Amino acid sequence: MRVFRAFFLLLVLANLGFFAWTKGYLGGQESGREPQRLASQIVPEKLRIVAAAPVVTAPAAPSPAWLACRVVTGLPLAEVEAFKAELVGFNVEVKPAEGTTSYWVHIPPQASKAAADKKAAELRALGIKDFYIMQDEGPSLNAISLGLFKNEAAAGELLQNMIKRGVRSARIEVRQTPARHTRVLVKGPSELLDRRLPGLVAKMPGAATTECP
C-alpha cells in the first residue's frame, strides 16, 4: 500500500514537472523558442515603402486631323448637281431645303378694281391707312393687303386690332414659299478641300462657306 502511494505521488510529480517544462516555466525551451520568435518579429529599420505600380493608359487614337468639313449655304437648287459633279472624291451631302412660312393679313379679293377702291375708302374712313390694293394678275388681284408677317402671333394681333376697329372681312392666309437655295456639307482632306472649294463657291453669287457645326 505504501509502495502504491509512493508510486502515485511520483507519477503526479512527474506530470506536473512535464507540464511546467512544456509551458516554459522551467526555462528549458527558452533557448530553442527565442530565435524563432525573434525571427518572426518585424524589424522597422529594414522596412521600405514600395511605390504603387503606375497605371498604364492606352494611348488615345489619333484624331483625323486631315479630315475637314465645310458647309456651303445659299447654293441655288438648280446648281446642286453640277456642284456635286465638281467634287468627285469628296463626301458631299445635300441637306433638305426648307421653305419659308408667312402669315398674310388681308381682305379677300374684290369683284373689281372699283369695288377694291370702295373698300379702301371705307378703311380710310375707319382711320386705317396702312394697306395696299393687290394689282398683280392672279388669285390675289384686287385683294387688300393689311400686313405680311413671319410670326403667326403678330399676324393674329393685327387681325384682332382690325376687328376692333370695325374691319369684319379681314382674314389670315398662311403662305408657303418654296426654298430656292439649299446647303451642302462637303467632307474631305483639309488641304485639298481648302484648295478646291473656294473657287467653286466664288462662281455662285450668294453662296458662302463656313465650318461645319
> Binning pLDDT at 50, 70 and 90, where does residue 119 land?
very high
Same domain, 92 and 117: no
- Which position has the grid cell 414659299? 177
Model pTM score? 0.48
Residues 84 and 187 placed together within one structural domain of the fold: yes
Same domain (yes/no): 118, 154: yes
Q: 202: closest CA among 74, 26, 109, 57?
A: 74
Q: Are residues 106 and 172 in the same domain?
A: yes
Domains of the chain: total: 3
For the segment 117-135, the average pLDDT, to the nearest whole number, is 95
Considering only residues 98 and 106, tell me which one the structure prediction assigns the higher pLDDT.
106
Helix, strand, or coil (residue 49): coil
Answer yes or no: do 186 and 82 share one domain: yes
Q: Residue 75: give the domain boundaries.
A: 68-98+179-211
Q: How far apart are CA 86 and CA 211, in angstroms?
A: 20
Percentage of the residues of the chain whose pLDDT score is greater than 70: 69
Could you tell me the CATH number of the domain that includes residue 205? Answer: 3.30.70.120
pLDDT tens digit sequence for 154-187 = 999 999 999 999 999 999 999 988 777 888 999 9
Residue 173's contacts (CB-CB under 8 Å, 6 or more residues apart) are: 103, 104, 106
